[in-house]
Amino acid sequence: VALKRMLNFNVPPVKNSTGEPVWKILIYDRFGQDIISPLLSVKELRDMGITLHLLLHSDRDAIPDVPAVYFVMPTEENIDRMCQDLRNQLYESYYLNFISAISRSKLEDIANAAIGANAVTQVAKVFDQYLNFITLEDDMFVLCNQNKELVSYRAINRPDITDTEMETIMDTIVDSLFCFFVTLGAIPIIRCSRGTAAEMVAVKLDKKLRENLRDARNSLFTGDTLGAGQFSFQRPLLVLVDRNIDLATPLHHTWTYQALVHDVLDFHLNRVNLEEATGTESSPAGARPKKKNKKSYDLTASDKFWQKHKGSPFPEVAESVQQELESYRAQEDEVKRLKSIMGIEGEDEGAISMLSDNTAKLTSAVSSLPELLEKKRLIDLHTNVATAVLEHIKSRKLDVYFEYEEKIMSKSTLDKSLLDMISDPDAGTPEDKMRLFLIYYISSAQALSEIDLEQYKKALTDAGCNLAPLSYIKQWKAFAKMASAPASYGNTTPKPLGLFSRVMNTGSQFVMEGVKNLVLKQQNLPVTRILDNLMEMKSNPETDDYRYFDPKMLRGSDSSVPRNKNPFQEAIVFVVGGGNYIEYQNLIDYIKSKQGKHVLYGCSELFNAAQFIKQV
């Protein structure tokens, strides 16, 4: 909503205006591009009158009779470039929008350039948009994508970090969270764990919200701000958690569609990139082998299949793709049948009466064609994506890993020794084995003896694993043990439903032979459990000493005693140090069972296990 308003020169778009939109061009930097691209497609931009969208630092030609909307971060180089645009008189008028608040001195630089270029009248509006975060789903956001190594898990947890570096990281995170609440138009009540990076974020955010509320003339939270109507009169709860409370989940192998795509494919800002294997039969003998084609697909909110199945276990997804394909084929056959009937020649009575019947049918068939084509496009897309995921599952035995890890995390009996899993050359990549062992190491209640550890280390080295992450996790575990008991993951294990072949009909294009059909039971991960305690006001040793901040209270009183005794309707969970789709899905499943409650999941960056292991 905020973006559409901005692209409409900062006035809310009128619904029923029949006229053409005002044609304009959009100029953004990489930050702006990352914010807009998961939300608005090129077609939607065009419908709003954006004919051209260009990067700020590209070579742009002058288009003197068109207004330009800028959407950029207020950085030194961006401002220099904008001043240059003014001097070169590139456009008819300039609407300057800053993703994050611009400082007074930089604003003066622009003013001076405008005066120098005699272009003061052409700078139509200057806005702080407070949109410095990336929305990936209706209920999920992430802070930034450019320079994300600045706020990464490693950056926050480096042993040699200086105080000033830590300040900078915290300010970056707080700036984005502040933007998030300005856009929501709500002041949260903040809870966080003590003695963690999350606590530093909470203190700074509380202070920033407080200062803004106090400056009544310029407060961003008064009157008809954007989000005024989005929330009920109840304020949302913001739970700030630190990644370190649970390091097992980001390493966990997963079984739901969206999380699998993120884990094994190249999935980034809602776009997945696949390498297509090209068929061998088409190339003549002696020809050079074909290059692999790269295809990218957008998995967005408008993709109904994705919305419905992104949280489903993988076997269900494969089955649904198959069903969609069959219903599509039936519809297509119907259209073909009508066509052949319409081709009837000769004047006999029967044909004519059939014709009038079928004209109606054909008219409806023709009008449903665009819908059919869209259906076909989605089926092809998900067939390709699911097949790519399936190849990984089969070659790396991911179903076995998933089931085994669930057993470890829920402390059930293991049917196969961990050493066998690690030394089995057919099961998984070295990285899979390392993930499995780290989860075992993190989840085990009593410490491993040195002898056992050496044995595992040798097996891991033989399997080609890089042992660097282990030393970090070892330190972390020693430190965490002093701090608190290990996180528990509930005590349910997935129930195998027998092998797939029974479920899948023989005509399916997914060859699922030998892959386990595991069905998930809902169990709350640590992050979800913490949210549940705080949202429902349950007393629990895990969360009882969480700090409580209310930016609306005049004096900030430091206590963990909530003023508000009622359960919350809306909550935002934010993980400092990075999050993943497994936790997101777990929260969504949890909130489904709660009538009328909403939860949003946010994190400083989104990583899969491979990216996380590198940071550890």
Gap between the Cα atoms of 499 and 486, Å rounded: 34
Cβ atoms < 10 Å from Cβ of 410: 17
Identify the CA nearest to 609 among candidates 484, 434, 422. 434
Q: Angle formed by the axes of helices 257-264 and 581-592, to 10°?
A: 170
Residues 99 and 146 grouped into a single domain: no
Answer yes or no: is 278 within a domain: no
Which 8-state DSSP code applies to residue 504?
Answer: S
Answer yes or no: is 340 within a domain: no
Gap between the Cα atoms of 514 and 501, Å rounded: 8
Residues 104 and 36 grouped into a single domain: yes
Answer yes or no: is 148 within a domain: yes
550 has a pLDDT exceeding 50: yes
Collapse the DSSP code of 393 into the 3-class scheme (helix H, G, I; strand E, B; otherwise coil) and give the result: helix
What is the arithmetic mean of pLDDT over 71-80?
A: 94
Residues 533 and 602 grouped into a single domain: yes
Residues 150 and 29 grouped into a single domain: no
Q: For every residue of 551-573, which 3-state class applies, written as one string?
A: CCCCCCCCECCCCCCCCCCEEEE
557 has a pLDDT exceeding 80: no
Distance, first Cα to last Cα, the chain: 38
Which 8-state DSSP code applies to residue 101?
Answer: P
Q: Which of 128, 145, 177 is the last residue of a domain?
A: 128
- CATH code at position 427: 1.25.40
For 132, residues 6+ apart whose C-beta sits below 8 A from its C-beta are: 31, 35, 73, 99, 100, 143, 144, 175, 176, 179
Gap between the Cα atoms of 125 and 117, Å rounded: 17
Label residue 147 exposed, middle or buried (CB < 10 Å: 0-12, 13-18, 19+).
Answer: exposed
Pairing of strands 63-72, 91-98: parallel
Gap between the Cα atoms of 155 and 113, Å rounded: 37
Answer yes or no: is 389 within a domain: no
Q: Which of 128, 147, 168 is the last residue of a domain?
A: 128
Q: How far is CA 296 from the centre of its chain?
A: 17
Sign for the CA dihedral angle at 206, 548, 568, 591 comes to: positive
H/E run at residue 390 = helix 369-396
Q: Which residues of 82-115 are buried (b: 16+ CB within 10 A; e: fewer)?
A: bbebbeeebbebbbbbbbbebeeeebebbeebbe
What is the arithmetic mean of pLDDT over 473-490?
A: 65
- Can you give the pTM of this predicted structure? 0.84
Answer yes or no: is 304 within a domain: no
Lowest mean pLDDT among 137-146, 174-183, 499-508: 499-508
Cβ–Cβ under 8 Å, residues 400 and 415:
no
Residues 104 and 136 grouped into a single domain: no
Residues 2 and 112 grouped into a single domain: yes
Residues 421 and 541 grouped into a single domain: no
Query: 572 is in which domain, residue-wise?
Result: 132-246+525-615
- CATH code at position 76: 3.40.50.2060
pLDDT digits (tens, 9 = 90+) for 470-481: 988 888 887 765
Residues 549 and 566 grouped into a single domain: yes
Cβ–Cβ under 8 Å, residues 337 and 395:
no
HSE-CB at 206 with a 13 A cutoff on CA atoms is 26
Q: Which of 128, 156, 175 is the last residue of a domain?
A: 128
Give me the helices (H) in 41-162, please: 42-47, 76-87, 104-116, 153-157
Identify the CA nearest to 95 among candidates 8, 32, 182, 4. 8
Residues 412 and 468 grouped into a single domain: yes
Residues 26 and 49 grouped into a single domain: yes
Gap between the Cα atoms of 592 and 599, Å rounded: 10
Provide DSSP, 164-211.
HHHHHHHHHHHHHHHHHHHHHT-PPEEEE-TTSHHHHHHHHHHHHHHH
487 has a pLDDT exceeding 60: no
Residues 152 and 92 grouped into a single domain: no
Answer yes or no: is 354 within a domain: no
Percent of the chain beyond pLDDT 70? 82
Q: How far is CA 9 from the centre of its chain?
A: 28
Residues 36 and 145 grouped into a single domain: no
Lowest mean pLDDT among 87-101, 383-397, 559-573, 582-596: 559-573
Q: Give φ, ψ of 301 to 5 degrees.
A: -65, -25
279 has a pLDDT exceeding 70: no
Answer yes or no: is 168 within a domain: yes
The count of domains in the chain is 3
Give the pLDDT band of residue 503 (cuts 50, 70, 90): very low
Gap between the Cα atoms of 173 and 161, Å rounded: 17
Answer yes or no: is 87 within a domain: yes
pLDDT at residue 238, as a whole number? 94
Percent of the chain beyond pLDDT 90? 40
- CATH code at position 206: 3.40.50.1910
- Kindly state the tokens that stand for 561: 């005693």
Cβ atoms < 10 Å from Cβ of 358: 18
188 has a pLDDT exceeding 60: yes
Give the pLDDT band of residue 558 (cuts 50, 70, 90): low
